[in-house]
Amino acid sequence: MRKILLFVLITFLGTLYSFEEASYLKIEPSVRIVGMGESGIAIASGVQDIFLNPAALSRMGHMSLSANYTNWMSGIGTGFAGFGFRRMIKEKPSQNAFAFSVFGVNVEGIEKRNVDGELLGTFGSSSYVFAMTFSRDLFKGIYGGFNVKYLYDNIDGDVAYGYAIDMGLLYWVMGGVGFGLSIRNLGPGLSSGSREVLTRTDFSLPMDARAGMSYLRNTGFGSFVWNLDFISSLTGNPPAVATGFEFDIKKSFYIRFGLKKSFGDNVIDNGELTKVSENTFSLGAGFGIRYGNFIIDYAYYSRNDFIKPHRLAVSINF
């Protein structure tokens, strides 16, 4: 039970026990992307994918709303809500796109004990990311964008703040081939509050760089997309590779699946957090249903046979 509790704290609270602060920034908010094994840096589109690649905002229409919620296990939930829009110029969308979004993680019912192991009660944790996004059509088929993110952590009344920046590019060429690049979570880390440990130099935000490609092929009944992404940590964590597929039928029904492989992981050994080179696999699968401007996305996610949440999102595009 102690190992399970520590695992949950590392994954969702992270700031006290991991080698990185704000480890919740590694959770992918987009249900569509999760369904493709967390791949799709080049196929990202709309407000729901801006945490993966902020340039994705340029691939939406006039306006987009998206929201989702995931119950990971009892007492642990994550949620995302975003609104993106373009200014209309002479009844045509401008080259500039803007978005406002929030991503949150809440944990309840964690036991609080003293050094002798006596139960003192329970406490909770809440972490939020408030983001502003700007994206622009740079040239024909080339899009660029960035996120400015404000981070807020509250663990049992102990509050810390911070900020981070994401940058991304998309480039689509002839023949249905696209390339994507993003650098995420650039920032100094969390500060303030009473957690002085957060200012230590051996802690940092989970910064990473991701590059990938997508191949899109239209068929007589819909389209087929294949993604391949490469992820490199900028804070010393092991690299990873992700691949996934999406099939659509008449732009009304979507089927997705994918795999992500990390070449190493952080694990708990005899109660201590250590870095090892064991490979870990994450599997994703899901579907989407479009009816007019409304889209419902579902994804099932499995990581090391421990956490297997069902994720659901609702989007409206204009």
Q: Does the pLDDT value for residue 136 go beyond 90? A: yes
Q: What is the pLDDT of residues 223-279, one digit of tens each?
A: 999 999 999 988 877 899 999 999 999 889 999 999 999 886 554 455 454 555 456
Q: Determine phi and psi for 227, rounding to 5 degrees.
A: -115, 150
Q: How many domains does the chain have?
A: 1
Measured CA to CA, the distance from residue 86 to residue 97 in angstroms comes to 5
> pTM for this one?
0.84
Give me the CATH number covering residue 114.
2.40.160.60
Within 13 Å, how many C-alpha atoms sit on residue 89's CB side? 6
With H, G, I as helix, E, B as strand and everything else as coil, classify residue 2: helix
| 159: nearest Cα among 198, 117, 209, 210 | 198
> What single-letter amino acid sits at 21?
E
- Find residue 76's DSSP bridge partners: 73, 107
Q: What is the pLDDT of residues 171-183, one digit of tens each?
A: 998 779 999 999 9
Q: What is the pLDDT of residues 272-293, one digit of tens each?
A: 545 554 567 889 999 999 999 9
Report the alpha-carbon angle 25-30-34, nearest 5.
Answer: 95
Distance linking the first and last C-alpha atoms of the chain: 48
Distances (CA, A) of 149 to 171, 256, 278: 24, 29, 32
Q: Does the pLDDT value for residue 1 go beyond 90? A: no
Between 17-31, 197-211, 245-259, 277-291, the lowest mean confidence (pLDDT) is in 197-211
Task: Report the b/e string of 104-139 with b at 16+ CB within 10 A.
Answer: bbbbeebeeeeeeeeeeeeeebebbbebebbbbbbe
Residue 157: which H helix or E strand, with range? Answer: none
| pLDDT reported for residue 279 | 64
> What mean pLDDT value characterizes the chain?
83
Quote the domain boundaries for residue 221.
2-317
